[in-house]
Structure 1
Amino acid sequence: MQATGFKLFSFSGETKILHLTWFAFFLSFLVWFNHAPLLGAMRETFGLSDQQIKTLLILNVALTIPARIIIGMLVDAFGPRRIYSGLLFVSAFLCFGFAIADSYEQLALMRFLLGFAGAGFVIGIRMITEWYPAKQAGIAQGIYGGWGNFGSAGAALILPSLAVAFGGDDGWRYAIGSTGVLALIYSAVYFFSTSDTPKGSTYFKPKRNGALEITSPGDFFLYLVMNIPLYAALAVLAWKLSPANLGMLSEPVVDIIYAILLSLYIFQTIRIYQINGHVFKKPVPEIERYKFKQVAVLDLAYMVTFGSELAVVSMLPLFFQDTFDLSIVKAGLIASVFAGLNLVMRPAGGWISDKFGRKRSLVIIMAGLAVGYLLMSYIDAGWSVPAAVAVVIFCSIFVNAGNGAVFAVIPLVKRRLTGQIAGMAGAFGNVGGVAFLTVLSFVAPNVFFLVIGGAAVVVLVAVLFFLDEPEGHMTEVLPDGTVQMIKVS
């Protein structure tokens, strides 16, 4: 790393920002996934059914879908320093609310709201983009994402033992509450220790707020199509809570939610046209253009890589606990391997993309991911635990490298829109989480893994035929008309 000018073992300049930001992300994920390794204890406390547990898993990733879109817009408009600090502050109190819940309904509501914490990832993407050049974008984003994403593995490693240390029936509550305390303290640390850009640099903001800017009529319609899964995932959640399934919401309430989602989609479509209608009247200057198909393919790729990680991390501790009759602590430790490899493989995926090409790397990684999930679909009680762990490690290598490879490309699409593009890709990650966890609620785990592998094959084809390798420069125009060229290859 030192040979390429990348300084990791330092705490000044851009490296200081990297370390402070990945730790903010770590805490946001620690809070977001603090429930997963403690589901067994919650099941005993509340007498939860399997369907109620699976619903909690879906609720946990649902709100993050719109939250990442909204946070992406706020980051582009107001800067990552203020938005990250604010997100950690709010998440801390939501965490406290989950820890003191005394009914399943309260538990479900607070778990849904805690999906807000998962939007933290988007903020750091813009922050790291401001501080690192394109030739180091992959590895810097990979370290940020990989080390921060370790928060979910950290929860699996630390919280079961912490709950046991606190002791009693409420040990899990104190363990979860402690993660909220950490987030609250660090919200102040991050605010007073960072800045949005290096001194003297320009923070490019969108020309208009409220929707992503696109640059051609074809991109306009593709944008509308790509918004549909974001609303469909929330509609699936409402259906899951309807009388036809868990019965947590009445039929009229579910119908109202459907109507609201449809109204929001129509409103967003109108807003998109208000911001981008000019593309139908006259061509956008070539210097301002970018290809939205890049965003669409990356959205789908992240839906499979991070979406599957969300789903698998949520269910894997209980899967090992039930399949191999392990204790909550042992199951949590073993399952932590899947997300834990993010620490190494997400940066590795970014570095591989920097070194060997963005598209080529993503193609190979998606192929490996498909094979990994195929192998996981064969795991059952007849396997030895070491063999099962070996397959989990193999699959995790490609899943986490894929996360890094996707976000090695995203900052190179359009600088001033990076927060929104990252937000949309991140939201698709959650769409994948909701979709795959919904599949899990209907099928056995082996079929669940097989479905993810099939989705990976579809995305592999999309990457192969529709993703362009970033080359040359992207341009940004300052308010005074000055053109700034930003190297992407």
Structure 2
Amino acid sequence: MSAFSTKLVVDGHNKATTIKLFSFARPHMRALHLSWLSFMTAFFSWYAIPPLISIIGADIGLSANDIYDSNIVAVAATIVARLFVGPLCERFGPRKVMAGLLFAGAIPTAMVGLVKSAGGLMALRFFIGILGATFVPCQFWSTQMFAPKVVGAANALTGGWGNMGAGITYLVMPPLYNGIYSHTPTSNAWKAVYIIPAGAS
């Protein structure tokens, strides 16, 4: 039997036993859609630097090792943050934790334009890397809303669609940069463009 239905059915524990995909009804379907949209937004900011790293590197004089190290730092931050985010979800709920992570990640994303050295880049990428921990409230949120018979499908949707944010970033950031670059020098263009993913968060 398919997990997807034109009717949302709820069991005795107030968990949905079907997924009415094109619905935004509270609380089940709204939670599903907000969880993946939040996760996708987080990935948009988390992956905003790599598509333009060659431009940033050339402008501030980064070596290949500097870029490599900053990539490691961005992932390491996520690993550490996830250890703390799980218990926070249990205490405060996934919605509040997700909002807090998005806000916390938006600040260093907006500050990317201030980077002048490899050390500064690594520091900012560490703090931006906490956005990867939004995976935890994303999955926690949808798990709370759906019964065991459909929770796998719900989590697959929220996790998979949320991960689209990384691909969208690679599609969107270069054209955004090019649009700004057509009106201002390179050093100003890449600095200004990071206001957009920060604002999205």
- What does residue 107 of structure 2 align with? 93
Any unmatched runs of 5+ in structure 2? 7-16
| Equivalent residue letter for 1:5 | T
Moved more, 168-177 or 71-80: 168-177
- What does residue 160 of structure 2 align with? 146
- What does residue 179 of structure 1 align with? 197
* Pairwise CA distance, 1:99: 2.7
| Equivalent residue letter for 1:2 | S
**Quick check: 2:81–2:133 contact (8 Å CA) kept in 1?**
yes
| Equivalent residue letter for 1:130 | Q
Aligned equivalents of 1:139, 1:99: Cα separation in 2 = 39
**Are 1:10 and 2:23 matched, yes or no?**
yes
* Pairwise CA distance, 1:82: 1.2
Q: Which has the higher contact order (CA 8 A, sep 6+)?
A: 2
Give the structure-2-normalised TM-score: 0.86
| Structure 1 segment 118-137 matched on structure 2, within 5 A | 118-137=132-151
**Quick check: 1:37–1:160 contact (8 Å CA) kept in 2?**
yes
- What does residue 163 of structure 1 align with? 177
- What does residue 287 of structure 1 align with? none
| Corresponding residue SS for 2:21 | coil
| Corresponding residue SS for 1:10 | coil
| Structure 1 segment 354-369 matched on structure 2, within 5 A | none
Aligned equivalents of 1:90, 1:182: Cα separation in 2 = 13
RMSD of equivalent CA atoms: 1.4
- What does residue 60 of structure 2 align with? 46
**Are 1:30 and 2:44 matched, yes or no?**
yes
* Pairwise CA distance, 1:123: 0.7
| Equivalent residue letter for 1:124 | C
Which has the larger Rg? 1
**Quick check: 1:129–1:137 contact (8 Å CA) kept in 2?**
yes
Any unmatched runs of 5+ in structure 1? 184-489
**Quick check: 1:160–1:172 contact (8 Å CA) kept in 2?**
no
* Deviation >4 Å, runs of 4+: none
* Pairwise CA distance, 1:104: 2.1
Aligned equivalents of 2:148, 2:191: Cα separation in 1 = 43
* Pairwise CA distance, 1:53: 1.1
**Are 1:70 and 2:88 matched, yes or no?**
no
Aligned equivalents of 1:54, 1:34: Cα separation in 2 = 16
CA deviations over 1:409-428 (Å, ceiling 9, x no partner): xxxxxxxxxxxxxxxxxxxx
CA deviations over 1:92-126 (Å, ceiling 9, x no partner): 11111223212222111111121111111101111
**Quick check: 2:106–2:128 contact (8 Å CA) kept in 1?**
no
* Pairwise CA distance, 1:54: 0.7
CA deviations over 1:290-311 (Å, ceiling 9, x no partner): xxxxxxxxxxxxxxxxxxxxxx
Q: Percent identity at matched positions? A: 33
* Pairwise CA distance, 1:171: 1.9
Give the structure-1-normalised TM-score: 0.36
* Pairwise CA distance, 1:48: 1.7
